Each structure stands twice: as C-alpha cells, then as structure tokens.
C-alpha cells in the first residue's frame, strides 16, 4: 500500500446525488476524523494550497518539453476553482505538482503553509493524507477491493480502527448515492459509479482541499451535474476548497474562480 491515499476511479453513473446527506452517523472515534482536523473551520482567510513560480520541464530521453512556465495560484478555504485548457496544455501536470505527486523543475508548492519540497517523503505523505483529496483523470480504484474498502483506505492509512473506517466509508458512499453498492468491486460498478466512489474516497478524510482532474469528464449531463453539485455542496458545508480541471464550460461557470492554462501560464478567465 502506498503511503498516500490510494487513488480512485473517476467516472460515474446516474444515481441522484443532489440533496444526498453529507453528514454520516458515525461512532465517537470515527467522528474525530470528521470534526476539528479537516475542512477548514479555523482557516478563514488563510491559504490552503499555493503554487509559486511553478515550472515543469520534461527531459527524459529525447524529450524536452516545457509544460509549465511560471504558474502562481493561491487557494483559500471553500473556494471552487476551475481550470480549463486544451488537451496537452498541462492541466494534469499542474494538479500533480500541486498535490505533491511530482516535483516541479523550479518554484514551490505550499500546503497549509508548508513547503512540500522541504519535507521528507514520509512527512509529505502524511500531510497529503491529512489535508488533500485527489480525484484522478483516469480512475485508480484498487480492483481487488470493494467500493467500501477503497473508500476506507485513507482512513486505514490514518490508523483509524477498521470497524470505524468501514462505518465512515459506508456513510460517505451513501452520501454519493451508493449505499447499495458498498460491496461491489470496481469491475462490478458502472463508470459513473466508479467516479462517485473516487469522489467519496477523495472526501472521506474531510480534506481542506480536493484536486479533481476532470471529475465529470466521463459522465452524462445529468450525472455530471449531480456530481458537480455534490462537490459545490461540500465546499459550502465544510469549507473544502476544490480545484477542478474541466472541459465543461457550463460547470466552470458555476465555480467561484476560473482560470485558463495556455502556453504554460495560468490566467484568469471569465
């Protein structure tokens, strides 16, 4: 098992999400995860995640591609940020750098005020597990685990007791409309259902910030709207910040801020 919260799939089905309860009933121990340490109740006005002068150049083998040429971004609690850009413009690369999954060629990323590059791999992993959630462009659910266990994984990594982890994971899955699918493995779920498992997994630790790479990219219109609405609701209810890469301009228009990544630079986009 990697030290980082395992990744989950990113596609979805068509069960109703809007209005789903987001406050699972959990035991006292489990409740510790849901209170106090996540989201950002005490972070008003602070910066959750920032990128400063980020550049990324790939130079493996015969390749020499500079994808990012100085990206600056500050993310505050509860903000929903949309990043649009053409295929190959570097959106996934940027999210990977901001999530500490890859290192920049220059510049720095700070998570909760801490420079990621100054931390050991273990400490980086802990900080990510504590404060970040990821929804990847291509799903990375662990195929041999059930939906519930995939969602419980970040809690196990935090050493929450298995029974509590399962309880919290089950509640989280119920909140994305998958109460009746908790024992299904990824191969036994629709693409949209997998996407929702991925979102549940990204949110189960109540992170301060979620990085989502085209979280609705494989979904039909109504399911995409439902998943998106769920994320906006979480942002409102828990002060969770979201950075979403999307090709969907109508969804981007519902975010609090929008950016376009073009020629290695990020600029506000209205």
Ligand X SMILES: Nc1ncnc2c1ncn2[C@@H]1O[C@H](COP(=O)(O)OP(=O)(O)OP(=O)(O)O)[C@@H](O)[C@H]1O
Residues that bind ligand X (CB under 6 A): 58, 60, 63, 65, 67, 85, 87-93, 137
Contact partner, 181, from Mg ion, ligand X, none, Cβ < 5-8 Å per class:
none
Please list, in sequence order, all residues whose beta carbon lies within 8 angstroms of the beta carbon of residue 253, skipping any fewer than 6 positions away.
none
Cross-strand pairs, 245:
83, 213
Q: What is the DSSP-derived secondary structure letter of residue 48?
A: S
By the rule CB under 5 A, 10 interacts with Mg ion: no
Contact partner, 90, from ligand X, Mg ion, none, Cβ < 5-8 Å per class:
ligand X
The closest alpha carbon to 230, from 214, 242, 246, 245, belongs to 242
Please list, in sequence order, all residues whose beta carbon lies within 8 angstroms of the beta carbon of residue 5, skipping any fewer than 6 positions away.
128, 129, 132, 133, 134, 153, 154, 157, 201, 202, 205
Residue nearest Mg ion, CB atom distance = 92
Of 87 and 120, which has the nearer Cβ to ligand X? Answer: 87
The closest alpha carbon to 207, from 251, 252, 238, belongs to 238
The closest alpha carbon to 185, from 148, 159, 212, 155, belongs to 148
**Please, what is the minimum distance in Å from the beta carbon of residue 153 to Mg ion?**
23
Applying CB under 5 A, the span of 22-30, 51-59, 90-98, 118-126 interacting with Mg ion comes to 90-98
Of 210 and 266, which has the nearer Cβ to ligand X? Answer: 266
Contact partner, 89, from Mg ion, ligand X, none, Cβ < 5-8 Å per class:
ligand X
Kind and range of the H or E run holding 84: strand 80-84
Of 92, 223, 240, 246, which one interacts with Mg ion (CB under 5 A)?
92
b (16+ CB within 10 A) / e for 225-254: bbbbbbbbbbbeebbbbbbbbbebeebbee
Of 60 and 270, which has the nearer Cβ to ligand X? Answer: 60
**Please, what is the minimum distance in Å from the beta carbon of residue 1 to ligand X?**
24
By the rule CB under 5 A, 93 interacts with Mg ion: no
Of 90 and 226, which has the nearer Cβ to ligand X? Answer: 90
Question: Contact, 216 vs 7, CB < 8 A?
Answer: no
The closest alpha carbon to 243, from 54, 55, 69, 48, belongs to 48
Contact partner, 64, from ligand X, Mg ion, none, Cβ < 5-8 Å per class:
none
Of 37 and 137, which has the nearer Cβ to ligand X? Answer: 137
Cross-strand pairs, 51:
73, 109
| x-marked contacts with Mg ion along 122-161 as a string, rule CB under 5 A | ---------------x------------------------
Interface ranges with Mg ion (CB under 5 A): 92, 137
């Amino acid at each position: 098992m990697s030290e980082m919260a395992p990744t989950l799939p990113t596609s979805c089905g068509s069960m109703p999400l809007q209005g789903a309860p987001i406050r699972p009933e959990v035991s006292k121990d489990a409740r510790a995860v849901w209170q106090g340490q996540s989201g950002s109740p005490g972070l008003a006005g602070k910066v959750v995640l920032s990128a400063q002068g980020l550049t990324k150049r790939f130079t493996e083998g015969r390749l020499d591609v500079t994808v990012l040429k100085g990206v600056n971004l500050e993310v505050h609690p509860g903000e929903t940020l949309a990043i649009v850009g053409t295929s190959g413009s570097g959106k996934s690369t940027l999210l990977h750098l901001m999530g500490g999954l890859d290192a920049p060629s220059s510049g720095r990323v700070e998570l909760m005020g801490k420079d990621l590059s100054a931390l050991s791999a273990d400490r980086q992993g802990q900080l990510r597990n504590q404060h970040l959630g990821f929804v990847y462009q291509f799903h990375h659910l662990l195929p041999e685990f059930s939906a519930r266990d995939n969602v419980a994984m970040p809690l196990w990594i935090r050493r929450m007791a298995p029974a509590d982890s399962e309880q919290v994971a089950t509640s989280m899955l119920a909140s994305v409309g998958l109460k009746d699918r908790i024992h299904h493995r990824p191969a036994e779920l629709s693409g949209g259902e997998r996407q929702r498992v991925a979102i549940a997994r990204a949110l189960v630790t109540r992170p301060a910030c979620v990085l989502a790479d085209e979280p609705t990219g494989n979904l039909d219109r109504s399911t995409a709207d439902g998943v998106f609405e769920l994320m906006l609701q979480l942002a409102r209810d828990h002060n969770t910040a979201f950075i979403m890469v999307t090709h969907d301009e109508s969804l981007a228009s519902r975010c609090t801020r929008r950016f376009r990544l073009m020629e290695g630079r990020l600029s506000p986009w209205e």
